[in-house]
Chain A
Amino acid sequence: MSVAEAPVLHGRPGDLEVTDQVLAPLWAGSRAWAALLGLSAAGVGLLVVAITYTVVTGIGVWGNNIPVGWAYGIINFVWWIGLGHAGTFISAVLLLLEQSWRNSINRLAEAMTLFAVVNAGLYPLLHLGRPWFFYWLIPYPSTMELWPQFKSALPWDIAAISTYGLVSFLFWYLGLLPDLAAARDRAPDLRRARFYGVCALGWRGSSRDWSRLRVGYGLLAGLATPLVISVHSVVSFDFAITQVPGWHSTIFPPYFVVGAIFSGFALVLILVIPIRRVYRIENLITERHLDAMGKVLLVTGSIMLYAYVVETFVAWYSGNLYERFIFLVRRPFGPYASAYWAMWILNAFAPQLLWIRSVRRRPLPLFLLSVAILVGMWLERFVLIVTSLDRDFLPSSWDLYAPTWVDWSLLAGTLGLFSFLFLLFLRLVPIVPIYEIKRLRHELELGHAG
C-alpha cells in the first residue's frame, strides 16, 4: 500500500537556507572534483586522439566491415541518445502528469540529456566518413542543385536529433533562468555576478514574467513529450524500414522509446545516488525519489520483457525462415550468444527485483542494478546491430565483427566527455531547481501537494 509515502522534501528549509545550500558548490570547488575533472579530461583527450585519427585516416580504422557496416558507430549512437531520453521524460512527461517528485531531479536529468545528445550526435557525424560535409544532409540550394533524399532515414535522424538537442537545451535553459538570477544575486564577487548576470538574461521575477515562464515551460513540456517519443522512433526507423531480419519489426518504435527511457533512468540513478550523498542534499532528493525512479525502471523493464518475448514469439509465429534463424538460432546460439543472454538477464529479468520495496529504496542495490541495466542496454544494441548484419542473405557476404582500439577509445572517450561536461555542470549551475523547491515547500505548508 503506497498511501503512506515517504516525503518528497525533508523538513521545511527557509528560502535563504535552500538557496545557499544549493548554490554552495558554485562558490567553492573541492579537490575531489578537480581530480575527477582531470580524469575526465584524460578521457576527452583520448576522444580527441581517436577522432583525429579517424578523420585523418578514414573510418577504415574502425572494426566495421562488409556486411557489419554499422557496428560501434551506431551502437554507441543509439545507446547515448537513449540515455538522454530520461531527462526529457522526467521534465516534460512528469510535469504534465503533475508528479511533484520530479522537481528535485529534473535539472540534473535534463543536463544529462544535453550531454548525452552531444555524445550521440558525434557518432553519425564521424560515420559519415567525411564529417565536414555533414551539411549535405540539410536541404539548401547548392550550386549542384542536389537535394537530400527524404525517403532515407538519415535526413530524418538529422532533423530529429538536431531538433531534440536544441529544444531540450531551450527547455532546460528556460527553467534555469530564475536560478541563474539567484546565483547572480548571491555571487560572492563581481566577476561571478557578471557571469551569472549575463546568463540570467536579466531575469527579475516579475509576476508577469513568472506567468509567462510557467506557460512557456508548460508549452515546451507539451512539445518535448511527443518529441522525445518521436526521436527514438526515428532512430528505430533506421533499422525497421529495412527488410533485414531482426530489424524489420513493427514494434520497434515504441520498444525503442521505452528502452531509451529505461536506460536513461538507470543513468539518472547512477548520477543521483552519489551526488545526493556528496552534496548532502538527501533532504531534497529523498528516498521517495529513488523509489519513484525504481518504479519507472520496473515498468519500463517489464515492457522490455514484453517486447523481447513478443519479438521472439512472432519471429517463430511468422513461419519465416530468416526471422526464425535470427531469433531462434543466430542470437541465442551464435557466436554472440553470451551478449544475447546477458541482455535478457540484465534488461528483462534483473529489473523484476524492483518488485521488492527494499531494493527500490536502498541506494546501493539501486545503483548496482542501474549499472547492470546500462550495460544490458548497450549489449542489446550490440546484439541487434551485429547479429542481424553478420549473416546476410547470401553466405558470400558473411563475416564476423570485432572492434578495434579506435572503437573502444571512442566509447571510452565519450564517457569521458560526458563526465567532463557533467562535472562542469555540477560546478557552474544550481543542480536542483531552487525556485521549484521553494514553491514546493510553500505548497506543502499550505497543504496542497502531498
Chain B
Amino acid sequence: METTADPRRLGLLAEYDNPADLVRGAASMRERGYRRLDAFTPYEVPGLAETLGVARTRLPLVTLVAAAVGGTLAYLIQWWTNAVAYPIPVGGRPLHAAPAFVPITFETAILFAGVATFLGVLVLSRLTRLWAPIDEIDGFERASVDRYWLAVDRRDPSFDPERTARELEDTGPLRVVGPPSRPSLGIVRCLPPLILVMLPFLAGCDVAGPEPNFSLERMIHQPRYDAWEASAVFADGKAMRDPPAGSVHAGSVLGPPALVEGRTDGRWVEQVVPEVDAALLRRGRDRFEIYCAPCHGIDGEAATSVAQSMSLRTPPPLVDGDARTLPPGRVFHVATYGYGLMPAYGHQLSIGDRWAVAAWVEVLRLRFGVPLESLPPALYERARRELEARDEEEDRPALPEPAVGRQRQGLEREVER
C-alpha cells in the first residue's frame, strides 16, 4: 500500500497540535480533490481514516486462510502419522481418533492465524524499516507523542508544490514543511547486522584443523566408546570399567546378607530368617493380601483377573508349578527387587515385612500338594478320618494319593491355630 514515508512520495507535510484541527485539515484537503493523503498521529484519531478514505485492510482474509491451512495441516499430520505411517493402538481407541485430534488441530489453526496476522501487519505496513527520509524532518518525532501530521503524496494528481503549500497553510497548521533531501541507503544498511547475526553459525564448521571434516554425519559418528565396546586403553581390553573393589551401592541396606538379601555365599536361604511366630504370620498374611494378592491371588493360585489380563506373561501361582519350589530367600529377594514385570516392593515393605510375606507364602504352600503321609502323625490320623468320613457320605471311592487340595479346610484350621 501507500507509504508516504517513501522519499519518492514525500510531498508536503503540515503539523497540527490537536486532532480536531488535523481532521478538519484532512477534510478540507479531501474536498479540494486530494486523494493521496496520509496522517501521522500519536493514536488512532476516531473518524480520521474515513476522512482520509483509507480502504479496509485485507488482513482478515490472511488470518482466515492461515487458520484453514494450519488446521488442515495439523489434522493431516496427526492422521497420517498415527493411523497410516506408524499405527499405535492405544487404550482401545481407533487409530484414526478424530475427537482426540481436535485439540492440536485447533491450536495449530490459531498458531498459524496468529503468526500470519502479526506478519501481515508487519508486511502490509512495511514495518521493520527503522529509518525513513521522513524521520529527518525536525520535530517529526513528536508525531508519536503530541503532534498530528498530515502528509500529501507528491504523486497526487492535484499536487503542486506551491499551491498545495498554500492550501495546507489555509487549514491552520502550526507549520508546513517539505521533504528533507537525503537519500535512502536501503538494503546496504541492513547487511552488516545481518552478517553479524550469521557469523556464529560458522562455529558449527569443522574445517580449521589439519584434516578438514565435511561430513554431515558427525552427530552419528562421534569419537566415544559405546557400552561393551573393546578398548586398547585398558589391560582387560574392555571400555567399561568395574567399580573399585569394596564399592557399596548408594542406598543399599547393610546387614547380614542372609537377612537383607536372602542369600549367603550365592545360595538362597532355605529358611525364613527372622523367628516365625503367629504375629509374623499374621503380619505376613496382611501384607501378602495387600501387596501380592492382586496378582498372585489370596490363595497364591494366581487365579485373579489381573493375571487373566496379563496373557503374555502371567504372574505365576506361588503354590504350584515352578515357583512352588523357590526357597524363602528367593521369595524375599523377588519381593525386594521385583522379577520380570513384577515391580520391586523394597520401598513399600520393610525387611521384616518381606520376610513375613515369604513366611506366609510358605504357609500357603502347605495348603497344596502336601502328601498326606508327610503330616505329623496326629494330624495325619485326623485328616484321614475326616476325609474318609466325607467320601463315604458322598459315596465315592477311597482317596487317591496324593490327595491334592482335599486337606484344605482342616489344614487351614490347623494353621490358624
Contacts and interface: CB of A to CB of B under 8 A. Distances in A.
Whether A associates with B in a native complex is yes
Interface of A: 14-16, 19, 65-66, 139, 145-152, 155-156, 159-160, 162-163, 166-167, 170-171, 173-174, 177-178, 181-182, 184-186, 197-198, 201-216, 219-220, 223-224, 226-227, 230, 233-234, 237, 394-396, 399, 434-436, 438-439, 442-443, 446, 448
Nearest to B125: A209
Contact of A396 (B40, B104, B129, B291): B291
A219 B132 contact: no
Contacts of A394: 294
B336 interface: no
A108 to B, nearest CB: 19
Contacts of B39: 206-207
A211 B44 contact: yes
Interface in B114-140: 114-115, 117-118, 120-122, 124-132, 134-135
A368 to B, nearest CB: 37
Interface in B59-116: 59-60, 63, 67, 74, 77-78, 81-82, 85-86, 88, 90-91, 93, 97, 100-101, 103-104, 106-108, 110-111, 113-115
B215 to A, nearest CB: 16
B40 A163 contact: no
B184 interface: no
A230 B101 contact: no
A57 B48 CA distance: 62
A212 B19 CA distance: 19
Contact of A182 (B3, B104, B106, B144): B144
Contacts of B373: none
Contact of B114 (A16, A155, A170): A170
B114 A163 contact: yes
B39 to A, nearest CB: 4
A396 B114 contact: no
Nearest to B193: A198
Given A147-B86, A151-B100, A201-B130, A160 B57 contact: no
B235 interface: no
A395 B292 CA distance: 10
A205 B44 CA distance: 8
7 contacts: A19-B145, A151-B93, A159-B74, A166-B115, A207-B44, A215-B60, A438-B43
Given A150-B82, A211-B57, A178 B290 contact: no
Given A396-B290, A439-B44, A210 B49 contact: yes
A150 B81 contact: yes
Contacts of B81: 139, 147-148, 150
A167 B110 contact: yes
Contacts of B85: 145, 147
B60 A197 contact: no
A151 B79 CA distance: 11
A233 B103 CA distance: 9
B145 A16 contact: yes
A206 B78 contact: no
Given A150-B82, A166-B114, A396-B294, A159 B59 contact: no
Given A213-B121, A216-B120, A234 B146 contact: no
Given A159-B103, A204-B143, A215 B78 contact: no
Looking at chain A's contact residues, the main secondary structure is helix
Given A147-B81, A151-B82, A208 B46 contact: no
Contacts of A182: 42, 144-145
A215 B59 contact: yes
B63 A212 contact: no
B141 interface: yes
A395 B114 contact: no
A207 B38 CA distance: 6
B19 A442 contact: yes
Contacts of B309: none
B373 to A, nearest CB: 38
B399 interface: no
**Interface magnitude class on chain B:** 35 or more
Interface in B330-373: 343, 347-348
Interface string B179-198: 00000000000000000000
A216 B59 contact: yes
Interface in B1-53: 1-5, 19, 38-46, 48-49, 52
A202 B57 CA distance: 20
B282 interface: no
Contacts of B107: 156, 159-160, 163, 227, 230, 234
Contacts of B52: 207
Given A139-B81, A167-B114, A442-B19, A205 B60 contact: no
Contacts of B74: 159
B129 A219 contact: no
A208 B125 contact: yes
A206 B49 CA distance: 10
B144 A184 contact: yes
A202 to B, nearest CB: 4
Contacts of A163: 107-108, 110-111, 114
Contacts of A150: 78, 81-82, 97, 100-101, 104
Contacts of B46: 439, 442-443, 446, 448
Contacts of B43: 178, 205, 210, 435-436, 438-439, 442
B352 to A, nearest CB: 18
Contacts of A219: 59-60, 63, 113, 117
Contacts of B292: 396
A202 B128 contact: yes
Nearest to B52: A207
B54 interface: yes
Among A149, A177, A204, A219, which residue has the most Cβ atoms of chain B within 10 A? A204
Contacts of B1: 208
Contact of A19 (B67, B146, B291): B146
A120 B110 CA distance: 20
Contacts of B130: 197-198, 201-202
Given A151-B97, A178-B144, A223-B113, 18 more contacts: A19-B42, A150-B81, A151-B91, A197-B130, A201-B122, A201-B130, A202-B130, A203-B127, A207-B40, A208-B3, A216-B59, A216-B117, A226-B110, A394-B294, A396-B348, A438-B42, A442-B19, A446-B46
A395 B287 CA distance: 10
B19 to A, nearest CB: 6
Nearest to B111: A163
A151 B91 CA distance: 9
B103 A156 contact: yes
Nearest to B124: A212
A365 to B, nearest CB: 35
Given A202-B128, A205-B42, A439-B43, A16 B146 contact: yes
B406 interface: no
Contacts of A170: 114-115, 117-118
A265 to B, nearest CB: 23
A151 B102 CA distance: 10
Contact of A15 (B88, B90, B120, B146): B146
